[in-house]
Chain A
Amino acid sequence: MPRVLLIEDDPSVREGIELGLRRRGHEVRTAATGEAGLTAIQEFRPDLLLLDLMLPGVNGVQVCRRVREGSQLPIIMLTARGDDFDVVVGLEAGADDYIVKPARTEVIEARIRAVLRRIEEPGGRPAVELHGDLAIDRAGLTVAKAGERLALAPSELKLLLYLTAAPEQVFSRQQLLEQVWEHSYHGDARLVDACVRRLRHKIEDVPGSPRYIQTLRGFGYRFGPL
């Protein structure tokens, strides 16, 4: 069972989610502040981070950035509906997914499994694929550009693997949400857009005029043609 670190300042939410997840067999560690959470990451070595965006002191977005500086730890933000701006900022900072509070434990667990699943299930193709300057190792789940290994967050890696599995095929944002994020059909397309932006920043030569991940206005995204 995955080890989950929950950073949440409100004691009742913290306790409730911890209780719910523990009952489902997760090993849960909680932290009440961003600082305590960052320390706990070192000791506890979680498989996934559940991160409340509204934290006193070091806030969720800052925690997210710090984690992303040196780690590909999957991050799910806890947010409240209506905090649209925070969602966008959190996604830009490198979060892989978000959950709107209040949420039932089954919803939280399903999202945790979805985020973790793509790490555990490799694409199933052997060897290393080459796309332009990109070398994609589906077995080792690594991506290198011009020989240099790229640090991709789980959602970025999964999206890239999904798009490169069918180069030049156009996927709508809703399709990507269903396949990559395992959201129901009417998910939040901003998840895709933010992830594409982050990915472009890492793999494109010029993020402003993308070569690998191209936009088809009105339809969605595709990989290539190179």
Chain B
Amino acid sequence: MRPRGARWRARAGLRTRLLLAFLLVAAVSAGTTATLTYRKARTAILEQAQDTAVSSFRERVSDMATPLPIEPQSLQEQLRALARQGKPHPWVVFAEYGSIRVSSGTSPVSTVITPQLRRAALANPHGGFQRVEKHGEPWLTVAVPTVFRAGKTVRPTGLVLYAVMPLSDEEANVRSMVTAARDGALPGLAVAIIPALLAARSVLRPVRDLRKASQSMGRGRLDTRIQVKGGDELADLARTFNESAIALERSVGELRDAEARARRFASDVSHELRTPLAGMLAVTEVLDEDAARLAPDTAAAVRLISAETGKLAVLVEDLMEISRFDARAAELNTDEVDVAQTIRKTLTIRRWTDPDRIVTELPDGIRARLDPRRFDIVVANLVGNALRHGGAPVTVRLRKAPEAHGEGTRLVTEVADSGPGIRPEVLPHIFDRFYKADSARTRSEGSGLGLAITLENVRLHGGTIRAANGPQGGAVFTVEIPLTGGEATGGEVRK
């Protein structure tokens, strides 16, 4: 399972991407429209101003009588009159004639007139114009050479007049258009968020449904289905999910049925074997007693039957026990006991009391809620195995330990032998049913279910069991059973 944060990020990611895509489209279309409109309008505004200025300046200049020779004083008067008639804004008019520089303004020479324009004015009798930018201010400069007509010939007089007009009003108009475009585009983008969110939601809802359904399936609820709405790709996905879920449910159901049948079969077989065994086991004693009086071969056969009947009874009993675990029919009949005392009793009943063979480290006063019969089976199986497969001395240790995660304490029971230990390749299978660590080992030593039953009994107590090899060699089996709070305090009460 992924952490909550990552899940949230993933969901936000899809939504964010959808929103960004929507906004990008909206921004690009708004931007393109605004740019095109702006460029057209700007050109129109500037050209209009420019045409007005150029044509009216030309008209004024041609109407002006040029008194020769050039008299700066009177020329300035004329220039001022010209400047006042400026269209669409007042002009500043400059005149250049040879080395004479006169203007209608304060400075006799303009700073915005370029040499390029001067050359154009001299070359072309119609003059020229130019848009110039100076210190961020746009200017229109118009040059018109004065001419005198002698009959049909037109000749330049050498006097060139320049009109310089600021275009800041036009520029302000254009700028306000840009502002208007921006002010229109921003709400547009904001409004675009709403359909974007709606679209994201309509995409994300099926995605969320799908996620919930998958989680539910993962938790084992195989009957989970998604409600299919509409006919888009997501609905197709939901439909596919449902179909897969049906197929999965069916095959899992078949597997479960097969497994249940197999388990029931094992259980039934054991049940059926038990009745003839009950009769046979009751008479083994008779066989054993009378075997001495029989012919040697017959006696051997009779003893064999008697011995194997006993083993068969153990095997059938173990099979019954394991099928009860498989059927989850095993019950825990708990009682509060002194654990050390319980373990000692287990050892005493089986006559495992020789201090050379069994070493115990069993502190008194640890009380726990256990099923004494099942705990007895656990300890007896482990000690019995240790004595058979390992080697004496076998150490049985008991202690309380804090829980690895969270509060509470565990009851730790350890059975260690002094044998050669368990081979590493065998360790993972040690709790398997009918697993024989050594194929050469005879099966007379047990049903092959002892450790599997031990494992199930520990699990039934909510505990764990693990097998390992100790530092000095020798196998170590560790059983850990949780002690809940109530039982831990019970340990304080002494009788």
Q: For residue B290, which residue of chain A has the nearest CB? A: A23
Is B279 positioned at the interface, with any CB of A under 8 Å from its CB? yes
Do the beta carbons of A16 and B278 come within 8 Å of each other?
yes
Residues of B within 8 A of A80 (CB): 271, 274, 320
Residues of A within 8 A of B376 (CB): 185-186
User: A82-B324, A170-B495, A219-B495 known; A189 and B279 CB under 8 Å?
Assistant: no
Tally of A interface residues using CB under 8 Å: 34
Residues of A within 8 A of B283 (CB): 16, 19-20, 105
Do the beta carbons of A104 and B282 come within 8 Å of each other?
yes
Residues of A within 8 A of B281 (CB): 16, 102-104
Do the beta carbons of B373 and A186 come within 8 Å of each other?
yes
Do the beta carbons of A106 and B329 come within 8 Å of each other?
no
**Stretch from B36-44, B227-235, B333-341, B385-393 contacting the other chain:** B333-341
**Chain B interface, >50% SS class:** helix
Contact of B279 among A13, A173, A174 (CB under 8 A): A13
Is A84 positioned at the interface, with any CB of B under 8 Å from its CB? yes
Is A35 positioned at the interface, with any CB of B under 8 Å from its CB? no
Do the beta carbons of B284 and A104 come within 8 Å of each other?
yes
Do the beta carbons of A20 and B324 come within 8 Å of each other?
no
User: How distant is the Cα of A186 from the Cα of B372 in the complex, in angstroms?
Assistant: 6
C-beta contact mask, A169-180 vs B, less than 8 Å → 1, else 0?
Answer: 010111000000
Contact of B345 among A10, A186, A188 (CB under 8 A): A186
Residues of B within 8 A of A81 (CB): 317, 320-321
Do the beta carbons of A16 and B317 come within 8 Å of each other?
no
Residues of A within 8 A of B329 (CB): 82, 84
Is B280 positioned at the interface, with any CB of A under 8 Å from its CB? yes
- In B312-340, the 8 Å CB interface with A consists of 313, 316-317, 320-321, 323-324, 329, 331, 333, 335-337
Is A218 positioned at the interface, with any CB of B under 8 Å from its CB? yes
User: How distant is the Cα of A15 from the Cα of B274 in the complex, in angstroms?
Assistant: 15
Do the beta carbons of B337 and A174 come within 8 Å of each other?
yes
Is B490 positioned at the interface, with any CB of A under 8 Å from its CB? yes
Contact of A186 among B310, B324, B336, B346 (CB under 8 A): B346
Residues of A within 8 A of B372 (CB): 174, 185-186, 189
- In B364-411, the 8 Å CB interface with A consists of 369, 372-373, 375-376
User: A81-B320, A82-B329, A184-B349 known; A189 and B335 CB under 8 Å?
Assistant: yes
Is A45 positioned at the interface, with any CB of B under 8 Å from its CB? no
Do the beta carbons of B331 and A82 come within 8 Å of each other?
no
- In A154-211, the 8 Å CB interface with B consists of 170, 172-174, 184-190
Is A12 positioned at the interface, with any CB of B under 8 Å from its CB? yes
Is A108 positioned at the interface, with any CB of B under 8 Å from its CB? yes
Q: Smallest CB–CB gap between B483 and chain A, Å?
A: 13
C-beta contact mask, A117-157 vs B, less than 8 Å → 1, else 0?
Answer: 00000000000000000000000000000000000000000
Do the beta carbons of B349 and A102 come within 8 Å of each other?
no
User: How distant is the Cα of A65 from the Cα of B278 in the complex, in angstroms?
Assistant: 25
Residues of B within 8 A of A10 (CB): 275, 278-279
Residues of A within 8 A of B490 (CB): 218
Is B197 positioned at the interface, with any CB of A under 8 Å from its CB? no
Do the beta carbons of B335 and A101 come within 8 Å of each other?
no
Q: For residue B377, which residue of chain A has the nearest CB? A: A186
Contact of B313 among A19, A102, A106, A172 (CB under 8 A): A102
Q: Smallest CB–CB gap between A110 and chain B, Å?
A: 12
- In A1-47, the 8 Å CB interface with B consists of 10, 12-17, 19-20, 23
C-beta contact mask, B235-254 vs A, less than 8 Å → 1, else 0?
Answer: 00000000000000000000
Q: For residue A10, which residue of chain B has the nearest CB? A: B275
Do the beta carbons of A219 and B336 come within 8 Å of each other?
yes
Q: For residue B317, which residue of chain A has the nearest CB? A: A81
- In B244-302, the 8 Å CB interface with A consists of 271, 274-286, 289
Q: Smallest CB–CB gap between B380 and chain A, Å?
A: 9
User: How distant is the Cα of A217 from the Cα of B322 in the complex, in angstroms?
Assistant: 31
Residues of A within 8 A of B323 (CB): 82
Do the beta carbons of A190 and B333 come within 8 Å of each other?
yes
User: How distant is the Cα of A219 from the Cα of B487 in the complex, in angstroms?
Assistant: 12
Residues of B within 8 A of A218 (CB): 336, 369, 490
Identify the interface centre among B275, B282, B286, B289: most chain A CB within 10 Å of its CB.
B282
User: A185-B345, A219-B495 known; A103 and B333 CB under 8 Å?
Assistant: no
Do the beta carbons of B278 and A102 come within 8 Å of each other?
yes
User: How distant is the Cα of A173 from the Cα of B71 in the complex, in angstroms?
Assistant: 140
User: How distant is the Cα of A17 from the Cα of B278 in the complex, in angstroms?
Assistant: 8
Could you list some 16 contacts between A and B, CB below 8 A? A19-B282, A20-B285, A23-B289, A81-B317, A102-B274, A102-B313, A103-B282, A104-B284, A105-B285, A186-B342, A186-B345, A186-B346, A186-B372, A189-B335, A190-B333, A219-B495
Seen from chain A, the residues whose Cβ lies within 8 Å of a Cβ on chain B are: 10, 12-17, 19-20, 23, 80-82, 84, 101-106, 108, 170, 172-174, 184-190, 218-219
**Closest CB pairs A-B (n = 9):** A12-B279, A16-B279, A16-B282, A102-B278, A186-B376, A185-B345, A101-B278, A102-B281, A102-B277
